[in-house]
Amino acid sequence: MREATEVYVSWQRQVVTLRSPMKVRVRVLHCPDHQEIYVYPKPMRRLFLPGCRFDMNVMNAVGLLRWGLCLQREEIQILLMDRGVTISTGEISYLSERFLVYFSLLHRSKYPERDSCMRITDVTCS
């Protein structure tokens, strides 16, 4: 299928990372023989938040600074500005809340693992 694919749509988007802003070009491939098949680049969803101009590392930094170190939005803004990242306090609020959602989902995905560990080692005092 790879040989028969053609570019269906292509777009660019500006993304801000902890190192520097960068342009990301996304090309979605399409098979002309199979109208329902589209091939999206795999790492796009893991590296960049959909509809957000910041990458995952910026979100993680904001979340850890906000919830891990209990810094205020203005303090986070100053720290990120020192790294060359211009961000508003509203975006800091949005990214910190999004961080909590992703962290919660990660925590819940580990429930079965945690429960199996608890069953193996009984820590009750009898």
**pLDDT tens track, the chain, 126 positions:** 445 666 666 667 777 888 777 777 777 777 777 666 656 566 665 666 667 788 888 999 999 999 999 999 999 999 999 988 899 999 999 999 999 998 998 888 877 776 676 666 555 655
How distant, in Å, are the alpha carbons of 25, 64, 104 from that of 17? 15, 16, 23
Does residue 34 contact residue 28 with C-beta atoms inside 8 Å? no
pTM of the model: 0.64
- Tokens for 124, please give them: 């009750």
As a three-state string, the secondary structure of the chain is CCCCCEEEEEEEEEEECCCCEEEEEEEEEECCCCCCCEECCCHHHHHECCCCCEEHHHHHHHHHHHHHCCCCHHHHHHHHHHCCCCCCHHHHHHHHHHHHHHHHHHHHHCHHHHHHHHHHCCCCCC
